[in-house]
Chain A
Amino acid sequence: MSTRKAPTGTSRPTTYREALREGLREALLQDERVFLMGEDVGRYGGCFGVSLGLLEEFGPDRIRDTPLSESGFVGAGIGAALGGMRPVVEIMTVNFSLLALDQILNNAATLLHMSGGQLSVPVVIRMTTGAGRQLGAQHSHSLEGWYAHIPGIRVLAPATVDDARHMLAAALADPDPVLIFEHGGLYNAEGSLDETVDAVDLDTAAVRRSGTDVSVITYGGSLPKALAAAETLAGEGVSAEVVDLRALRPLDDATVMASIARTHRAVIVDEAWRSGSLAAEISSRITEQAFYELDAPVQRVCSAEVPIPYARQLEEAALPQPATIVDAVRRTVS
């Protein structure tokens, strides 16, 4: 573990990356069946530095570098889970996970049902998602919504250090496959880890900021942007409630609808493309379940329908930003 500041009171500052590492380390310490497997997780320390130091502590059997063969090692993780282990499989980015989509969809998500309940697959698959680091189209897409389409898996998107710290333990306790999407823009984000929290549940969305005029519904890397937008709006006299979905499948409809019952307006912020997005699904659910609560049409802030470009100004323009969220809120409250 890297050194960090001494705890102060019931919370201490940490980064999203360190919180993830603490979660991993705890899982490895607590259960011998847990092991980490993926591209560059060992000697390299994880391509985003999440597993730095774990090889030295736990050895190459449990911190297992794999070849660059996503389908092979993700499938091996699924097989190891079938064989009684608790593998945590890391894929560098969601873009590369498409090479393992067959294993995730046709095996991990499907075996329990196809076998009539005989084979559960307690595998956890972690990967990076999202843009904002000028990495070009093949390292920047937000495809977690595709995974959220699939029955049989749980899809998580930690946006805070507390979720980064504790979601893994909860995921490992789930007998079914869990995918954890870590936004690449959050690894360096600092937060205050609440030391009174020692577990999180994976079923409920969280209201990260209370408000009365509009519900801004988001998740993952867009949460800080939504909170920044809410701060700006507060200065204009608009009270925005910010809902962090946390789990993209299953979706916690109740928290979303309860928020809309308070605010009567909804803006959904989703870094994925608008067409066929998770934002579209949430919008549809709001229409189905809370239509008569609405005082205005649901607004969506999504990425431009373009492969995410490299050039900074183009990339920034393609992604949801605090200013575009503020604009969308203004449209809905006007």
Chain B
Amino acid sequence: MSSTTSHHEGKARATARKSGRKKGPTTAARGTPDGLPVPGHHLSLLRRMLAIRRFEERCVELYSGAKIRGFVHLCIGEEAVAVGVNQALREEDAVVSTYREHGHALARGVPADAVMAEMYGRATGCSRGRGGSMHLFDAARRFYGGNAIVAGGLPLAAGLALADRMRGSTRVTCCFFGDGAFAEGEFHETANLAALWQLPLLMVCENNLYAMGTSLAREHAQTNLAMRAASYGMPAWTVDGMDVLAVEAAALRATESVRAGNGPHFLEAQTYRFRAHSMYDPDRYRAKSEIEEWKGRDPLKGLAELMRSEGQLDDRVMEELDKEVLAEIDEAVRGAEEAPLEPVADLLRFVTSEPGSTA
């Protein structure tokens, strides 16, 4: 974790990070009181990342088979950010996400079958078929979407944090957004407001180097995002977004500080999506070599290798894990296939609150 990382191209960063990762935490950040790792902690992180990876791989198949439609933005390659950050959040905290949110939703605990049913547009979907891939919601888990307007969710997150602050709650609101959102006015308005009012907000920038098809250096005059965020007077850190343990450690440190009343914090996770921006994107703007290089830093492989070297993982456990995860996804797909359609007669529901709802 560093607050001064500067980078102008992925390649140089990839090399730097590769050596840097070894220096990252090698034991679970969330430890027992005597500092020893909680048994199974790494395995649980690996399992969560694998669940997201396999879920999205299945989405590719389903999309190709025309089972699911719309814009589908995959986070394959970025799982460590979703899992690492959510690991630091508590049930009572809130999460505001973007259109690339399958990983955030699953890591938050939104059931895979509810997410899959939403992809199918079914009545059992987490947004009752009205949201789709880009608009996943789960009020009970305080998962507030699912915003397809770049940076559009950030002011909402500030408002959720404001509500908590006004009531003296120590809950944290976490908002995810990308490097593209950093160029929007709403990022800067939110950062200013949050710092001005010392709101309990964790701003997590998933810097995957591309705003859709435009590279960081072509969208930002100053590519050191953490430095710019820090200029609002909030602690701002950069972390290797391909290292789930590093993300978790940074997120824990940040959320603890937010909870302690130190106002908003900014975390830049340097990461990479292995696939195109969306299923429609021919991905002509990235060099194959660059993609391959980043794939070499696959967060799942990285953690698995570490666990193997520490004797926590072998082929049998890995196979077992994969089997479990795939069975869950099979079940989610079967459930979605069999789920009822939301009736067309209900088209106009949920435009305004239904009788009986009270403010």
Residues of chain A whose beta carbon lies under 8 Å from any beta carbon of chain B: 35, 61, 66-67, 69, 71-87, 102-103, 106-107, 111-120, 122, 151-152, 154, 172-176
- Give the residue of B129, B135, B137, B156 whose beta carbon is less than 8 angstroms from that of A75: B156
Residues of A within 8 A of B139 (CB): 115, 118-119
CA of A76 to CA of B158 in the docked complex: distance in angstroms?
5
- Give the residue of B163, B350, B352 whose beta carbon is less than 8 angstroms from that of A80: B163
CA of A117 to CA of B130 in the docked complex: distance in angstroms?
10
Seed contacts A80-B159, A118-B127; 6 additional CB < 8 Å A-B pairs: A67-B196, A71-B185, A75-B152, A79-B163, A116-B130, A117-B349
CA of A116 to CA of B185 in the docked complex: distance in angstroms?
29
Once the chains bind, are B131 and A114 in contact (CB under 8 Å)? yes
Once the chains bind, are A117 and B350 in contact (CB under 8 Å)? yes
Once the chains bind, are A85 and B166 in contact (CB under 8 Å)? yes
Once the chains bind, are B159 and A117 in contact (CB under 8 Å)? no
Residues of B within 8 A of A151 (CB): 351
* Nearest chain A CB to B95 CB, angstrom units: 12
Once the chains bind, are B155 and A172 in contact (CB under 8 Å)? no
Once the chains bind, are A73 and B359 in contact (CB under 8 Å)? no
Closest to B155 in A: A75
Residues of A within 8 A of B189 (CB): 67, 69, 71-73, 75
Once the chains bind, are B353 and A76 in contact (CB under 8 Å)? no
Segment among B54-62, B143-151, B234-242 that sits at the interface with chain A? B143-151
- Give the residue of B125, B147, B159, B357 whose beta carbon is less than 8 angstroms from that of A81: B159
Once the chains bind, are A112 and B162 in contact (CB under 8 Å)? no
Once the chains bind, are A116 and B129 in contact (CB under 8 Å)? yes
For B122-146 the 0/1 string (1 means CB < 8 A from A) is 0001111111000101110000111
Most buried by B among A61, A106, A120, A122: A120
CA of A17 to CA of B192 in the docked complex: distance in angstroms?
31
Interface residues of B in 335-354 (CB under 8 A from A): 349-354
Once the chains bind, are A76 and B162 in contact (CB under 8 Å)? yes
Once the chains bind, are A172 and B359 in contact (CB under 8 Å)? yes
Residues of B within 8 A of A81 (CB): 159
Q: A113-B130, A113-B351, A114-B130 are in contact. Are A71 and B155 (CB under 8 A)?
A: yes
Once the chains bind, are B159 and A83 in contact (CB under 8 Å)? yes
Once the chains bind, are A175 and B146 in contact (CB under 8 Å)? no
Once the chains bind, are B350 and A112 in contact (CB under 8 Å)? yes
User: B14 near A: Cβ within 8 Å?
Assistant: no
User: B160 near A: Cβ within 8 Å?
Assistant: yes
- Taking residues whose C-beta sits less than 8 angstroms from the other chain, chain B's interface range is 35 or more
Q: A78-B155, A78-B156, A118-B137 are in contact. Are A73 and B193 (CB under 8 A)?
A: yes
User: B28 near A: Cβ within 8 Å?
Assistant: no
Q: A72-B190, A112-B350, A112-B352 are in contact. Are A82 and B152 (CB under 8 A)?
A: no
* Nearest chain B CB to A247 CB, angstrom units: 13
Once the chains bind, are A35 and B349 in contact (CB under 8 Å)? no
Residues of A within 8 A of B158 (CB): 72, 75-76, 79
Once the chains bind, are A79 and B155 in contact (CB under 8 Å)? yes
User: B186 near A: Cβ within 8 Å?
Assistant: yes
User: B94 near A: Cβ within 8 Å?
Assistant: yes
Once the chains bind, are B357 and A175 in contact (CB under 8 Å)? yes
Closest to A73 in B: B193
User: B164 near A: Cβ within 8 Å?
Assistant: yes
CA of A317 to CA of B155 in the docked complex: distance in angstroms?
41
Residues of chain B whose beta carbon lies under 8 Å from any beta carbon of chain A: 94, 96, 125-131, 135, 137-139, 144-147, 149, 152-164, 166-167, 185-186, 189-190, 192-193, 196, 349-354, 357-359
Once the chains bind, are B135 and A102 in contact (CB under 8 Å)? no
Most buried by B among A81, A86, A117: A117
Residues of A within 8 A of B128 (CB): 116-117
- Give the residue of B127, B154, B160 whose beta carbon is less than 8 angstroms from that of A115: B127
CA of A102 to CA of B156 in the docked complex: distance in angstroms?
12
CA of A285 to CA of B155 in the docked complex: distance in angstroms?
37
Once the chains bind, are A35 and B166 in contact (CB under 8 Å)? yes
* Nearest chain B CB to A287 CB, angstrom units: 24
Residues of A within 8 A of B154 (CB): 75
Residues of B within 8 A of A71 (CB): 155, 185-186, 189
Residues of B within 8 A of A69 (CB): 185, 189, 192-193
Q: A83-B163, A175-B353 are in contact. Are A114 and B135 (CB under 8 A)?
A: yes
Closest to A122 in B: B359
Residues of A within 8 A of B156 (CB): 75-76, 78-79, 82, 103, 107
Closest to B348 in A: A151
- Give the residue of A75, A119, A175 whose beta carbon is less than 8 angstroms from that of B159: A75
- Give the residue of B125, B166, B359 whose beta carbon is less than 8 angstroms from that of A175: B359
Residues of B within 8 A of A76 (CB): 155-156, 158-159, 162, 190, 193
Closest to A74 in B: B155
* Nearest chain A CB to B255 CB, angstrom units: 17
Once the chains bind, are B147 and A115 in contact (CB under 8 Å)? no
* Nearest chain B CB to A133 CB, angstrom units: 28
* Nearest chain A CB to B339 CB, angstrom units: 13
Q: 28 pairs across A/B with beta carbons < 8 Å?
A: A66-B193, A69-B189, A72-B192, A72-B193, A76-B158, A76-B162, A79-B159, A83-B164, A84-B167, A85-B162, A103-B155, A106-B147, A106-B149, A107-B156, A111-B137, A112-B352, A115-B130, A115-B135, A116-B125, A116-B130, A116-B131, A117-B349, A118-B127, A120-B353, A120-B359, A122-B359, A154-B352, A176-B353
Once the chains bind, are A116 and B155 in contact (CB under 8 Å)? no
Closest to B165 in A: A61
Residues of B within 8 A of A72 (CB): 155, 158, 186, 189-190, 192-193
Once the chains bind, are A107 and B152 in contact (CB under 8 Å)? yes
